[in-house]
Amino acid sequence: MEGGFRMDGKEKKLDQFEIEAKTSGGAVFEQGVKMSKSNKAIRRIAEPLMAKHWKDSVTNLHRIYRVAEYLHKRTKRLK
């Protein structure tokens, strides 16, 4: 079902993005929302660590984000 009919009898064409929006359902959207929230939480955890330990080094930046990911996973762990 790529298009429908309008009131005046002419066929209505949907562009590629409209088709994608209609066919991709809640699962894809839900997964994106979960990932976005997770990344935001990791950034929040990493922010104070960055202020203290960054020192303009990309290596330190990657280490800080790895530590923040670990701390985020640890908060979800059962106690």
pLDDT digit string (tens) for 4-40?
A: 555 665 666 777 777 776 776 666 677 778 889 999 9
CB 42 within 8 A of CB 68: yes
Question: And the tokens for 5?
Answer: 């009919």
Domain encompassing residue 63: 3-76
Between CA 41 and CA 75 the distance in angstroms is 11
**Confidence at residue 13, expressed as pLDDT on a 0 to 100 scale:** 74
pTM of the model: 0.59
Q: Check if the beta carbon of residue 70 is closer than 8 Å to that of residue 42.
A: no
Position 1 scores a pLDDT of 45
- For residue 14, count CB atoms less than 10 angstroms from its CB and return exposed for 0-12, middle for 13-18, buried for 19 or more: middle
Q: Give the chain's domain count.
A: 1
**Cβ(42)–Cβ(69) under 8 Å?**
yes
